[in-house]
Structure 1
Amino acid sequence: MMPDPSMRAWEPEIQPRQTLSHRLEHGARHLLPSLFCMLVIILFSAPLPLPGIAELMPAIVMATVFFWSFWRPSGMPSLAVFFLGLFMDLVGFTPLGVSAFILLLVHGVGLYARFGLMRMHFLLAWGVFALVALGACLLQWGLACLFRLHMLDLPPTLFEAFLSIGAYPPLSALFSWLLHRLDGKEQD
């Protein structure tokens, strides 16, 4: 007697079991952007004798969050962005939550504009990031002025914004290469 084909539709499809190493590798691929940001925060918050290192840390983290938010949001989930921002606040001695708020806004813009940015030429996507970075740095400056109840100097904020804008192309090239490699590994 032949089995009824309509009964097969209700049976769950059996997937081959993934090995532990395959699951760990897959998880590590998705954690890589967050781990990169964490490493940057740790290394750049250390008292190294490099000029401009304090401004370089938020620039790299902001560019990383923006890139991965629109190219692979699973690699930069909102919860990870929130904790990265809190960690930046803790090591940078800024009011708790300011960096988390700023990074979540950058992440939100990247997610919201995701499908439009993917179709844009790199220079246009870079222009969008430039506007986002400038707005984020000015917002951070405004919040810092509000917390301290007096006006702070604007040139360091503009330096941080321009540093973020300048850091985006090399980081984007590195992350594009890495994304291409990771996508090739997932197909194997």
Structure 2
Amino acid sequence: MAMPPARRPQGRPAPAPGLLRRIDAFARVAFPGFSTAFLMVLAAAPINLPSPVLAVTLPCVAFWSVFRPAAMMPPIVFLLGLLMDLLTFAPLGSGVLVLLALHAAAVRFRHVLARQSFLAVWLGFCVAAFGAAGVYWGLQSVLALQLPPIAPALHAALLACGLYPAIALVLTRVHEAMRHAEVAP
């Protein structure tokens, strides 16, 4: 005599996502791009120093590309690069290419970087920041058909390296809060 197949206990179906849940999910996905754009606009305020827009943008794009790449996708990075070009009056496309290259490198090495200590990630970012600043300077010189001074690019790279710990501290807290909210019922 054959036994009937075992019945699986049926749990309650998951509640349909309501409006508040959808808004919350959208906010978690949109926060990295919007917060980076907001910081870029703040950094574009007129001051008597070289523009810190690149120095603020690099840590944000690198951090979110490593720790939340689904929220920092290439189209968002493209728009951030375009905004950077418009804010700094750089030749259109130079910031886009630099940020997309940084994003690609961060996503490529994210599995290695996510398991490293903060110091190792910071050193890796410093190498990437100097490379990005060099490429940005090179693209500006090629697109403008003249050699601009390299000091602003070095300043931006050094400032990005110096700002990374503070920016990463704040973004780590935000990322942990977002992860906690995603796991909570």
Q: TM-score, normalised by structure 1?
A: 0.87
Aligned structure 1 segments of 4 or more residues deviating by more than 2 angstroms: 13-16, 41-47, 50-53
Structure 2 portions without partners, runs of 5+: none
Structure 1: how far apart are the matches of 2:26 and 2:179? 14
Aligned to 1:23: 22
Q: 1:136 aligns with which of 132, 135, 141?
A: 132
Q: Which amino acid aligns with 1:175?
A: L
Aligned to 2:169: 173
For residue 37 of structure 1, report the CA deviation from its aligned partner.
1.3
Over residues 81-110 of structure 1, what are the superposed CA-to-partner deviations in whole Å (9 max), with x where a residue is unaligned?
Answer: 001111111222111111011000110111
Q: Which amino acid aligns with 2:36?
A: C
Structure 1 portions without partners, runs of 5+: none
Q: Which amino acid aligns with 2:144?
A: R
Structure 2: how far apart are the matches of 1:28 and 1:5? 45
Over residues 131-184 of structure 1, what are the superposed CA-to-partner deviations in whole Å (9 max), with x where a residue is unaligned?
Answer: 110001011111111122222211111111100111111111111111111111
* Equivalent position SS for 1:95: coil
Structure 2: how far apart are the matches of 1:136 and 1:18? 41
Structure 2: how far apart are the matches of 1:79 and 1:5? 50
Over residues 38-64 of structure 1, what are the superposed CA-to-partner deviations in whole Å (9 max), with x where a residue is unaligned?
Answer: 1122222243xx44361x221111110
- The alignment status of 1:66 with 2:62, answered yes or no, reads yes
Aligned to 1:93: 89
- The alignment status of 1:148 with 2:147, answered yes or no, reads no
Higher fraction of helix:
1
Q: TM-score, normalised by structure 2?
A: 0.89
For residue 73 of structure 1, report the CA deviation from its aligned partner.
0.5
Q: Which amino acid aligns with 2:105?
A: V
| CA-based RMSD | 2.0
Q: Is the 8 A contact 2:130 2:154 kept in 1?
A: yes
Q: Is the 8 A contact 1:85 1:97 kept in 2?
A: yes
Q: Which amino acid aligns with 1:16?
A: P
Structure 2: how far apart are the matches of 1:44 and 1:53? 11
Aligned to 1:52: 49
Structure 2: how far apart are the matches of 1:75 and 1:52? 32
Aligned length: 178
Q: Is the 8 A contact 1:44 1:53 kept in 2?
A: no
Q: Is the 8 A contact 1:31 1:75 kept in 2?
A: yes
* Equivalent position SS for 1:18: coil
Aligned to 2:183: 187
